[in-house]
Amino acid sequence: MTRRLPPLNAIRAFEAAARLLSISNAAEELSVTPTAISHQIKQLEDLLGIKLFERSGRNITLTRQGERIFPGVTQGMDSLAGAFEETYGKVDLNTITISTTREFARYWLQPRLGDFYEQFPSLVLNVFTSESCVDLSGREVDLAVRYGPVPAEDSGDVVLFQEHYIPVIRKSPVDSKDKTVDIADLETKRLIDVRWENATLAAPSWKTWFEQSGKEGFHHFKRMNFDSYHLAFDALKRGYGAALLSQTIVNSDEFSSELVRIEGPQLSGYSYRVVVAPASQRKKNVRLFVDWLSG
């Protein structure tokens, strides 16, 4: 028998919007725009010749016809997910794939993985780093830890912590008891800035730090600019100057004993948050990992 099915994208849009009762949340889950969700639902309504949602501003509710078909659609989507889950085998069910930034992976996640594997010895974590937001609509990645503005409360994202940027310089080998230094004593050093790959985010800068600290003399310093923290770390270790580093790096075992803080304010940064791929939201092990991350 030939199956008469509407386009799969339209079905997915309807199912997500009906389950979440939100166009914006459905768009976030499916990694598309709210306009795309609305367009796909309208396409489905036109194809079926019925109205599926009642709209009042940004609020939506299912119509009687929508309520009638929603349980069957959800059951069908769950059956499809279950059928394809079988093809991945038990090994893949224990594998969690995460996408995140290089800084978070190296200085926050890696030092804590021993605790994770001690709690969950049967799980396998694959970590892929990128400064760009990966597409979560497929099955390649289970979740992403992203860095940026705090999302709306109804986004479903889990906020881990807000980042701050601390002015530091390499500790002098002569006096290992240094706790803080004054920026005025460092005029022979250079100020190291890092330009972020993601130009949509405002990177911390020494110019901003001087403005917030109320200190003068910014223009008297020579400066260095790098396009990666790897080069900035090397310059810092060689004693070339001072850098604004995230608290994640400054507090890490790799750097905490080598750095001296410069007197003055910390700069507020963005926040790390967890975004779970739509296809992985029902995976038990992914939920365990998210709980561990946020615990």
Q: What was the pLDDT predicted at 1?
A: 52
Confidence of residue 91 (pLDDT cuts 50, 70, 90): very low
Confidence of residue 243 (pLDDT cuts 50, 70, 90): very high
CA triple 184-186-192, angle to 5 deg: 115
Percent share of the chain, pLDDT over 70: 93
Average pLDDT, integer, range 64-75: 91
Confidence of residue 86 (pLDDT cuts 50, 70, 90): low
Query: For 191-237, how does the pLDDT look when each residue is reduced to its tens digit (9 = 90+)?
Result: 999 888 777 888 999 999 999 999 888 998 999 999 888 888 889 88
Q: Is the pLDDT score of 143 beyond 90?
A: yes
Instruction: Indicate the range of 37-51, 88-102, 142-156, 272-286 predicted with least confidence.
Output: 88-102
Q: Is the pLDDT score of 261 beyond 80?
A: yes
* pTM metric for this prediction: 0.64
Cβ atoms 70, 48 nearer than 8 A? no
Domains and their CATH numbers in the chain: 8-79 (1.10.10.10), 92-160+272-294 (3.40.190.10), 162-269 (3.40.190.10)
Q: What was the pLDDT predicted at 75?
A: 87
